[in-house]
């Protein structure tokens, strides 16, 4: 989790702040905080998918050379969102839902 927060903070301060907030929500053991974190994971995935699709549609050459790093960052943020989503839905003492 700390590695994912560090990577998000390196990519952008805004995403880093979002990662820290969702990480703090995941540390709480109540169901509402975990649902808020799961919702944040969905938002992260949706926003970065939109960024990824729009950047590929505007510039198909983005897969070549240095621009491929941007693809890596979009995919890393999508994976981070999936991790937050799965962590938010993970079964705890107060949550009847489980991903795993």
- Tens of pLDDT, residues 32-88: 777 777 787 788 788 888 877 877 777 666 666 666 667 777 788 788 778 777 777
DSSP 8-state class, residue 91: -
Q: Does pLDDT of 16 surpass 70? A: no
Q: Where does the pLDDT of residue 21 fall: very low under 50, low under 70, confident under 90, or very high at 90 and above?
A: confident
CA–CA separation, 19 and 93 (whole Å): 24
Q: Does pLDDT of 9 surpass 50? A: yes
Q: Does pLDDT of 19 surpass 70? A: no
Q: Does pLDDT of 100 surpass 50? A: no
Is the pTM higher than 0.75? Answer: no
């Amino acid at each position: 989790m700390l590695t994912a927060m560090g990577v998000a903070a390196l990519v952008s301060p805004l995403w880093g702040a979002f990662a820290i907030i969702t990480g703090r929500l995941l540390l709480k053991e109540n169901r509402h905080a975990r649902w808020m974190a799961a919702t944040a994971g969905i938002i992260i995935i949706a926003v970065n998918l939109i960024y990824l699709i729009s950047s590929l549609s505007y510039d198909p050459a983005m897969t070549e050379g240095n621009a491929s790093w941007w693809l890596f960052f979009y995919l890393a943020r999508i994976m981070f969102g999936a991790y937050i989503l799965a962590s938010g839905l993970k079964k705890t003492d107060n949550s009847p839902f489980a991903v795993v």
